[in-house]
Chain A
Amino acid sequence: MAESVVTTVPGGWAVLAGILLCGLAFFAVALDAALSARAQGTGGGWGAPLGRAARLLRQRRRSTVAADTLLWRIGGAGMLVGAFLMIAVIPLGEWTLADLDVGVVWFNTVDVMVWALVWLAGWGANSAHGLVGGYRFLAHGLAYELPLMFALVAPAIAAGSLAVGDVAAAQDGVWFVVWMPVAFLVFLIGVTGFSVWGPFTPALAADIGGGVLAELSGVDRLVLQAGRYLFLTAGAAFSVPLFLGGGAGPVLPGWAWVLVKTVAVLAVLVWLRRKLPLLRPDRFMEIGWMVLLPAAVLQDLVVSLVVVWKG
């Protein structure tokens, strides 16, 4: 490919990237716990997730009769692994782990994998609650995935490249979020969707006893829950090179700006969770197809026209 705008670092740095991702995800967990505690009017919060995680690690693994253990574990562990695959293409300032020509497509591929993972996690337990939860997620997926794909297309058209580094570099004048706000919004909805987060948690909801989580215990439960937060974090991080100008910003170095913007997006997503009701899968389908999809396509059209007009 042509001269790259980002430097590809040796694979060993993946460890640091993973640690960064985990740190940011823990920030999301802690923030959520703190907001929860405040709403309930109880003290503490920030440290509570550590206690919960420790308890899950010590908890004995519970199993169900005739569970499809292999698929069940694949579903849970896949959620943990997927998020790490995602961040491989997200540049931290000027460095990236893998400067793929098709970075945007890579991101999209991983997020589509979540469909299978959540459904498997629901299916494997051999429980009606889990199964209903898994299918609820698929229904949501049908509604958010296509709009998300079209939202991903907009920055790629504007940058004329599917490489994430190029997309970030194409925003040296004005950030994409400014002139493609619809795509940004739809992208964030998609991120909450594939993280099974906030309004997209009917798959894990209390009305079906926890749904996909109903039969998960101990380390399996910890792994799947951690995977959700990691996906949320990776999604928020991906919005930075795509819409928020990558590492662009005054004073601070590029990598610091990426982190700051990621934290900001993440905090908004975590905060919003408490405010919004669940989007019921049956009703959200209509919004996904009648509102989000046309809006995203229209956004792509506008972006294309602007690109053509500018020559």
Chain B
Amino acid sequence: MGHGGMDHGEMDHGEMDHGEMDHGEMDHGGHGGMDHGGMDHGEMDHGGHGGMDHSGHGGMDHGGMDHGEMDHGGHGGMDHSGHGGMDHGEMDHGGHGGMDHSGHGGMDMAPGGIALAGGGEDRDGLEMDVLHLPLGPVLPFWPAGLVLRCSLQGDVVVDAEASVVDGAGAGGPGPGPAPAAVVWCDQVMALLALAGVEDAAACARRARDALLHGDQGAARAAAERLHRTIRRSRLLRWSLRGVLPLDPSDLEQHGLPRRCLGDAHDRLLARLERIRAEAGGAEPVPVEDAAVPWAVLPELVTGLELASVRLAVASLDLDPHPAVQAVGHG
């Protein structure tokens, strides 16, 4: 490698992620005249550099480098940000012999400005590309404002990170608090739409509209019809069974309210019962006002396939900006 005359001044290599780089047998001879002043190699991790030859660095000026917290054991955590948004996550640099790094222009690691997918170990132990895909904050049939940054291998979520835009519970400038049953209808509608039962989803939407307009008769009819359709649909049960099953110990572990018990289909039926009771004019069902904490979501969805993640999220009545709760507490 000929780095003669390079000026790496002001480079910020903090948090580079060169995981799985193999710099074995590299020959760094001939770096004459490099000026590495002002580099910040904080948190670099240089593992596997066996056989490197750094002889012949005459005239290099490493003054001002900050190698604090370097860990020469495996290249985790480096970040070449400052190189135009490149993401070198988990690239394999093995076998780059003879590359010319001068000016950092010769390597097209990010065609079109998008980083290549890095590799990662799949469940079966083979390497598989990792794609980063944010779900939300705006997505059809998704809790508004919730962002789930997923790392995907194929369509399996191997890692996730949840956040909420504009802070949780801030209560946006919405049209005001909605009755609980209306929100339930919306959530049922989202789950049904994701499962692909369009007629039933349309029915849930009509029930919601009727509730909003105060048309109790129409709401009751729609709720009854919906309940009947859902209970009778064996295909829907087949599709939702076993999606995010939660037993009492899971609820306790994640701090979830009791209404989350069972799998997606159980939760759907339970919510339909509540809508039916509400629309039927029965005395208001005592509602646990414990919100489902969105922060536990990554633990719940990691390891699920993307479609299951969507169904699972829709089956929990997540409400990052709870308009309903505002009634009770405001």
Which residues of A are in contact with B by a Cβ distance under 8 Å?
36, 39-41, 65-66, 126, 128-129, 131-132, 135-136, 199, 201-202, 205-209, 273-283
Which residues of chain B in 127-164 are interfacial with respect to chain A, using CB atoms and an 8 Å cutoff?
A: 131, 133, 139-141, 152, 154-155
Q: Is B310 an interface residue (CB 8 A)?
A: yes
Binds A, one of B47-55, B67-75, B81-89, B196-204: B196-204
Can you give 15 contacting A-B residue pairs, CB < 8 Å?
Answer: A39-B202, A40-B206, A41-B206, A65-B114, A66-B112, A128-B152, A132-B154, A199-B235, A201-B196, A206-B194, A207-B311, A208-B307, A277-B233, A279-B235, A282-B305
A40 touches B306 (CB 8 A): no
Q: Which B residues are in CB contact (< 8 Å) with A206? A: 140-141, 193-194
B114 touches A66 (CB 8 A): yes
Q: Interface 1/0s, chain B 230-241, versus A by CB < 8 A?
A: 000101101100
Bound CA span A304–B314, Å = 49
Q: B236's contact among A128, A202, A277, by CB below 8 Å, is which?
A: A277
B196 touches A205 (CB 8 A): yes
Of chain A, the residue at the smallest CB distance from B210 is A41
Interface of B is mostly: helix
Of chain A, the residue at the smallest CB distance from B241 is A283
B239 touches A40 (CB 8 A): no
Q: Is B168 an interface residue (CB 8 A)?
A: no
A36 touches B198 (CB 8 A): yes
Q: Is B195 an interface residue (CB 8 A)?
A: yes
Q: 20 additional contacts, CB 8 Å, given A40-B206, A65-B112, A280-B307?
A: A39-B198, A39-B202, A40-B202, A41-B202, A132-B155, A136-B155, A205-B194, A206-B193, A206-B194, A207-B307, A208-B310, A274-B199, A275-B197, A276-B196, A276-B197, A276-B235, A277-B233, A277-B239, A278-B196, A282-B305
Q: Is B205 an interface residue (CB 8 A)?
A: yes
Which residues of chain B in 197-247 are interfacial with respect to chain A, using CB atoms and an 8 Å cutoff?
A: 197-199, 202-203, 205-206, 233, 235-236, 238-239
Q: Which B residues are in CB contact (< 8 Å) with A274? A: 198-199
Q: State the Cβ distance, A123 to closest chain B Cβ, in Å.
A: 13
Q: Say whether, besides A206-B141, A207-B141, A283-B239, A40 and B205 are in contact (CB < 8 Å).
A: yes
Q: Which A residues are in CB contact (< 8 Å) with B196? A: 199, 201-202, 205, 276-278
Of chain A, the residue at the smallest CB distance from B235 is A277
Q: Which A residues are in CB contact (< 8 Å) with B155? A: 132, 135-136
Q: Is B56 an interface residue (CB 8 A)?
A: no
A202 touches B307 (CB 8 A): yes
B239 touches A273 (CB 8 A): no
Q: B306's contact among A201, A207, A275, by CB below 8 Å, is which?
A: A207
Q: Is B111 an interface residue (CB 8 A)?
A: yes
B198 touches A208 (CB 8 A): no
Q: Is B281 an interface residue (CB 8 A)?
A: no
Of chain A, the residue at the smallest CB distance from B140 is A206
Of chain A, the residue at the smallest CB distance from B206 is A41
A65 touches B113 (CB 8 A): yes
Q: Which B residues are in CB contact (< 8 Å) with A128? A: 131, 133, 152
Interface of A is mostly: helix
Q: Which B residues are in CB contact (< 8 Å) with A282? A: 305, 307
Q: Say whether, besides A277-B195, A277-B197, A282-B305, A209 and B205 are in contact (CB < 8 Å).
A: no
Of chain A, the residue at the smallest CB distance from B117 is A128
B306 touches A132 (CB 8 A): yes
A275 touches B199 (CB 8 A): yes
Bound CA span A209–B135, Å = 10
Interface centre among B155, B205, B310 (most CB of A within 10 A): B155
9 A-B pairs with least C-beta separation: A278-B196, A66-B112, A207-B310, A39-B202, A65-B112, A274-B199, A277-B197, A132-B155, A277-B196
Q: Say whether, besides A206-B141, A207-B310, A135 and B154 are in contact (CB < 8 Å).
A: yes
Bound CA span A128–B133, Å = 7
B239 touches A280 (CB 8 A): yes
Bound CA span A66–B238, Å = 39
Bound CA span A199–B238, Å = 13
Q: Interface 1/0s, chain B 297-315, versus A by CB < 8 A?
A: 0000000011100110000
Q: Which A residues are in CB contact (< 8 Å) with B111? A: 66
Bound CA span A202–B310, Å = 12
Bound CA span A136–B311, Å = 16
Q: State the Cβ distance, A195 to closest chain B Cβ, in Å.
A: 15
Which residues of chain B in 73-127 are interfacial with respect to chain A, using CB atoms and an 8 Å cutoff?
A: 111-114
Q: Which A residues are in CB contact (< 8 Å) with B236? A: 277
Bound CA span A136–B194, Å = 15
Of chain A, the residue at the smallest CB distance from B209 is A41
Q: Which B residues are in CB contact (< 8 Å) with A281? A: 307
Q: Which A residues are in CB contact (< 8 Å) with B112? A: 65-66, 126
Q: Which A residues are in CB contact (< 8 Å) with B310? A: 207-208
Bound CA span A282–B307, Å = 10
Q: Say whether, besides A36-B198, A128-B131, A279-B239, A205 and B152 are in contact (CB < 8 Å).
A: no
Q: State the Cβ distance, A71 to closest chain B Cβ, in Å.
A: 15
Q: State the Cβ distance, B74 to closest chain A Cβ, in Å.
A: 28
Interface centre among A132, A205, A207, A282 (most CB of B within 10 A): A207
Q: State the Cβ distance, B229 to closest chain A Cβ, in Å.
A: 9
Bound CA span A40–B154, Å = 35
B139 touches A209 (CB 8 A): yes
Bound CA span A274–B114, Å = 39
Q: Which B residues are in CB contact (< 8 Å) with A280? A: 239, 307
Bound CA span A208–B141, Å = 11
Q: State the Cβ distance, A104 to closest chain B Cβ, in Å.
A: 30
Q: State the Cβ distance, B51 to closest chain A Cβ, in Å.
A: 36
Bound CA span A275–B194, Å = 14
